[in-house]
Structure 1
Amino acid sequence: MKKHIFLFAIVCITQFIYSQNDNIPEKKTQKGFGKIDFLSIKMPETTIPNESNMGFTGIHYNLMMNDWSYAGLGIYGAVTGERGGFFTLGINAGIKKYFTNNFYLDTGFHFGGGGGKSAPDGGGAFILPHFNLGYNFKDLSINSGWSYVNFFDGGEIKGHQLNVGLEIPLDFSYADYDVAENDYSFDGLQKSNWNVNSKKSSLMLHLNNLEIKGDDTNKNVQNFGRATIRLAGFEIASYLSKNWFTFVKFDGAYDGIKAGYMDVFLGGGYHLPFNKNRTNILAKFGVGAGGGGGVDSQGGFLIYPDISIEQKIFDAFFISVNKGYVMSPNSHFYTSSYGLGLKYYVERNGIISDENSFSEGIFKGIEVITKQDLYFNAKRDGEPTEDMHQISVQINFDLNKNLYIAGQTSFANFGNAGAYAEGIVGLGMQTNPFINDKTSFFAQVLGGAAGGGDISTGEGFIVKPSAGFNYQLNNTLSLRTAAGYVKAKGGDLSSPFINLGIKYNLSFLKMN
């Protein structure tokens, strides 16, 4: 009898292990590429006599939809000329077709919204089609060709120009979103195609301060004294090795000066851990664009040297304190930077690591939402009140099946407010799917920095609660719509809004 019980137990355990392995989610690969491009835009003569060209540089990420077409998102910022603080956000779509093993044609367009620095951008909506010839060097490719820009909603910026771009392949692994929050044993994952080296990434939400420096002849000192610009934003880093990493960083002003200042940086750094990996020192250097809110950053090109120290508080969460500089290379805009952040590290999409040992893995959900907002009767500081539209991108990271943290950036594209932009973060809740497992409701509260475009946001802090629903179209795409209210602290903006968009969702393997 004991032998029979023992054999029965062995069979059950074997079947359980087999079932665990059999149920491991499929590892899928999404092909994509990152792109940095530059174009020199001829500016119309308006408030600045004999205005020089505006150097416009963009950071993009595109997904390959099949072997020849792509779609994605991009953000542009001014880096030369006289319009520092001019930023836009938009969507990309195009066709990339090889006619030899290495040469290809790339034709497509970018549609978005934005503006800044009193530029003749109208409502902010613009198109940017291109036709390029490219060459693939395997690990990177370059392309160049014709492009055309037109701020068509009442703007005066339009014209033809050459563009040049650099692309690198950035594929990623993922699983379907419906397995999010499911966990699996290490033994089961070892027998799956997730048995590869993990990749390290981090996400940080931070508050930064820019203390304006310079002598009494400095134009920004004359305009603001030695005021401190208070910023809120986020930073995403991806590790190339144990110590070296790349990062992208976004910040917007919410206090200290008139609303409208923002900056965007792309860079790299070195990570030095000690104290049994509980304490880190990081040295970073970034380049990017910044301006707005009355700040004179000339063409907009900025550099960002920084050093920070981090201390683990629990699990994979760290508190970060940083000190550095945000400045133009000639010190025309010169600030001392310091701040505080909450950082989260993750080992993803693999179970092999030189730094950590794991016992299990859990799939975490990520949602990327691209949408169009409509603010009803958006109050202005000087111009007549009218509706305002904006293009918006929101990223949600699931904390569990029903709770998520969110980051969102938005830029005006219709409604005579081209320079208006938002950078906000917050929390949201969503229901489990129902009605054939395709519909879910959500509610969220976001807050942060906003300003520009004569919209009355005071020094820039807004709160933006909303609620709505998602309808699933397939494994990765859903329709999303919401209604809510936006309120500015210290300004007259107090408007109901609605939006409609597309949500792209997936999950990634996080090891514990």
Structure 2
Amino acid sequence: MKKSFFRALVLTLTLSVHFFYAQDKDAPAKKSQLGFAQIDFLSIDMPDMNEPNMDFTGIHYNLMLNDWSYAGLGFYGAVGGIRGGFFTLGVNAGVKYDITDKLFVDTGIHFGGGGGASAPDGGGAFILPHLNLGYDFKHFSVTSGWSYINFFDGGTINSDQFYAAVHIPLNFNHTDFDQKENKYTFEDLKSSDWNKKSNRISLMVHLNNLSVKGDSQFSTGEAIKGRTIRLAGFEFVSFLDKNWLFFVRADGAFDGIPAGYMDIFLGGGYHLSMNKNRTNLQAKFGIGAGGGGGVDTQGGFLIYPDITLEQKIFDNFYATINKGFLMSPDAHFYTSTLGFGLKYYVDKEGTTSDFVTPKEFKLKGIQTIVKQDWYLDASRNGGFEQDMHQISLQVNVFLNKYVYAAGQTSFANFGDAGAYAEGIVGLGVESNRFFNDYISVYGQLLGGAAGGGGISTGQGLIVKPSFGVDVKLLNNLSFRGGIGYVKARGGQLSSAFANFGINYNISMLTGR
């Protein structure tokens, strides 16, 4: 009897353990965020009556906060006139009110900072309200109406003008940030809302070399031909299907010319995979805005044809080499490009893919931070010091539970340095939350290109360490503050700084 009881007990425990470990892990809650991308255009009447209008175009992304209001971020760049190299960054907020099923009113305001190209931008701070009437064509919307722009911190750009925009729905799925790095199998997810086709994206950091050719020149008339402008930047690619893609890329100069040159491009391309997806070839064409650093790009409108070869090195990381041209359409500014980069591919928000058969799924933490920087006694080219403020956007992608890769761009908005901008990348570390899951601390080291606005950055290379605290406000929203130090290589900028802002935290499902 004792032996029978003992055997039954062992069998029961064994089956119980097997049953316990065989259970599927609960799938993460899938949350959908509605949003839309926006491309807009306005032609600004400049203060000097003898100067042509500055054509201004923007790229934005807005989150729908509810059925009728939205908020987001946007960049602007000059593409017409004589102010090539004039760029801004800002935040958007607005209301969309439906009149009928198709007709709606769109009104809102953009607040930002920036400038450049010796324009009368003052400290760089500006407002841009608009009032538009729009029509919904289902897959996109078109709006047009009135806008007003005012560089109010000592600038003299102040104008009413016609405003037009295109809205393209662009939604995404996510879950809570505190679930980052959780792993799942297909069995865990096959009965959940995540079991659908994934979307492929890629992120790349790169160095690009512009070999200047033709009759390219500085704004002073001095020839640039023969120089090499060295840029650092990043590129974001999203795939429409297995072959076609669209991309956004931004670069800033750190060597070869005076600091201040940058460019931003939006475009499309074709992707061809070979060698069992270990080797890729991409042909891309972009249009955008560029200038600064004394380079004469006329109105700033540039085109960018490019061919990129990619080779897998490990996991989802690829080494890249690209060759192409960056130029104005009339070749007034004309360069040949050669670049090298490191690219990371992600299949997100689903369990199946056109490219690979994912064997494992993981939630990757992503932080989008909008903040205001305050540089104490920022050194100027004139040999004096003055505080400078800038609006800044930083995106963190977590490589594991604590370490993240960061990209940051910033534009001056107060302190008489309207043309100053930064484009920097690096690594950071963030702790788990403590004090009842409300507070975490972080430290990071970023570096890259910066210049313009009379700030003494030499040829543009800066290093920027910092640390700070993150305080939870809502489930995916927190307050972020920090202090740090910025140092320019080859320039006099050597300042302590402080910043504060808002951090939007989410986790996205990725497969590999």
Q: Report the TM-score range of the alignment, normalised by the length of the smaller protein.
A: over 0.9
Whether the 8 Å contact between 1:406 and 1:427 is mirrored in structure 2 is: yes
Taking the aligned partners of 2:218 and 2:490, their CA distance within structure 1 comes to 29
Which of 30, 47, 51 matches 1:44?
47
Which of 27, 35, 39 matches 1:24?
27
**1:313–1:253 distance in 2 versus 1, CA, 3 Å:** same
Q: State the 1:455 CA deviation.
A: 0.3
Partner SS for 1:222 = coil
Taking the aligned partners of 2:383 and 2:301, their CA distance within structure 1 comes to 30
**1:217–1:234 distance in 2 versus 1, CA, 3 Å:** closer
**1:224–1:504 distance in 2 versus 1, CA, 3 Å:** same
Taking the aligned partners of 2:377 and 2:290, their CA distance within structure 1 comes to 29
Which residue in 1 is equivalent to 2:382?
A: 382
Partner SS for 1:187 = helix
Whether the 8 Å contact between 1:219 and 1:296 is mirrored in structure 2 is: yes
Q: State the 1:353 CA deviation.
A: 1.8
Percent identity for Structure 1 against Structure 2: 61
Which residue in 1 is equivalent to 2:239?
A: 239
**Unmatched runs of 5 consecutive residues or more in structure 2:** none
Whether the 8 Å contact between 1:213 and 1:221 is mirrored in structure 2 is: no
Which residue in 1 is equivalent to 2:257?
A: 257
Which residue in 2 is equivalent to 1:211?
A: 211
**1:218–1:480 distance in 2 versus 1, CA, 3 Å:** closer
Which residue in 2 is equivalent to 1:75?
A: 75
**1:511–1:10 distance in 2 versus 1, CA, 3 Å:** farther
Taking the aligned partners of 2:89 and 2:497, their CA distance within structure 1 comes to 20
Partner SS for 1:193 = coil
Taking the aligned partners of 2:13 and 2:78, their CA distance within structure 1 comes to 71
Whether the 8 Å contact between 1:145 and 1:163 is mirrored in structure 2 is: yes
Q: State the 1:10 CA deviation.
A: 4.7
**1:11–1:91 distance in 2 versus 1, CA, 3 Å:** same
Which residue in 2 is equivalent to 1:34?
A: 37
Whether the 8 Å contact between 2:216 and 2:334 is mirrored in structure 1 is: no
Taking the aligned partners of 1:65 and 1:298, their CA distance within structure 2 comes to 39
Partner SS for 2:188 = helix
**Correspondence list, 1:79-478, <5 A:** 79-215=79-215, 222-382=222-382, 384-478=384-478
Which residue identity lines up with residue 453 of structure 1 in the other structure? G
Whether the 8 Å contact between 1:94 and 1:106 is mirrored in structure 2 is: yes
Whether the 8 Å contact between 2:219 and 2:294 is mirrored in structure 1 is: no
Partner SS for 1:373 = strand
RMSD across aligned C-alpha pairs, in angstroms?
A: 1.6
Whether the 8 Å contact between 1:17 and 1:188 is mirrored in structure 2 is: no
Taking the aligned partners of 2:354 and 2:51, their CA distance within structure 1 comes to 55
Partner SS for 2:222 = helix
**1:60–1:292 distance in 2 versus 1, CA, 3 Å:** same
CA deviations on 1:416-448 (whole Å, 9 max, x unpaired) are: 000000000001011111111111111100000
Whether the 8 Å contact between 1:363 and 1:507 is mirrored in structure 2 is: yes
Q: State the 1:223 CA deviation.
A: 3.3
**Correspondence list, 1:51-62, <5 A:** 51-62=51-62
Taking the aligned partners of 1:248 and 1:9, their CA distance within structure 2 comes to 55
**Unmatched runs of 5 consecutive residues or more in structure 1:** none
Taking the aligned partners of 1:83 and 1:244, their CA distance within structure 2 comes to 33
Taking the aligned partners of 1:339 and 1:393, their CA distance within structure 2 comes to 25
Which residue identity lines up with residue 87 of structure 1 in the other structure? F
CA deviations on 1:271-324 (whole Å, 9 max, x unpaired) are: 111111111111000000000000000000000000011111001100000000
Q: State the 1:504 CA deviation.
A: 0.3
**1:297–1:217 distance in 2 versus 1, CA, 3 Å:** closer
Partner SS for 2:474 = coil
Which residue in 1 is equivalent to 2:480?
A: 480
Taking the aligned partners of 1:9 and 1:355, their CA distance within structure 2 comes to 41
- TM-score normalized with structure 2 length: 0.96
Taking the aligned partners of 2:217 and 2:117, their CA distance within structure 1 comes to 22
Q: State the 1:30 CA deviation.
A: 0.1
Partner SS for 2:382 = coil
Taking the aligned partners of 1:113 and 1:27, their CA distance within structure 2 comes to 36
Taking the aligned partners of 2:208 and 2:9, their CA distance within structure 1 comes to 67
**1:236–1:220 distance in 2 versus 1, CA, 3 Å:** farther
Partner SS for 1:194 = coil
Whether the 8 Å contact between 2:217 and 2:223 is mirrored in structure 1 is: no
CA deviations on 1:2-37 (whole Å, 9 max, x unpaired) are: 6775565555444544451xx211011000000000
**1:4–1:481 distance in 2 versus 1, CA, 3 Å:** same
Taking the aligned partners of 1:205 and 1:6, their CA distance within structure 2 comes to 56
Whether the 8 Å contact between 2:216 and 2:333 is mirrored in structure 1 is: no
Taking the aligned partners of 1:32 and 1:232, their CA distance within structure 2 comes to 30
Partner SS for 1:178 = helix
Aligned residue pairs total: 507
Taking the aligned partners of 1:130 and 1:230, their CA distance within structure 2 comes to 38
Which residue in 2 is equivalent to 1:64?
A: 64
Taking the aligned partners of 1:208 and 1:60, their CA distance within structure 2 comes to 25
Which residue in 1 is equivalent to 2:507?
A: 507
Taking the aligned partners of 2:47 and 2:219, their CA distance within structure 1 comes to 25
**1:100–1:211 distance in 2 versus 1, CA, 3 Å:** same
Which residue identity lines up with residue 171 of structure 2 in the other structure? D
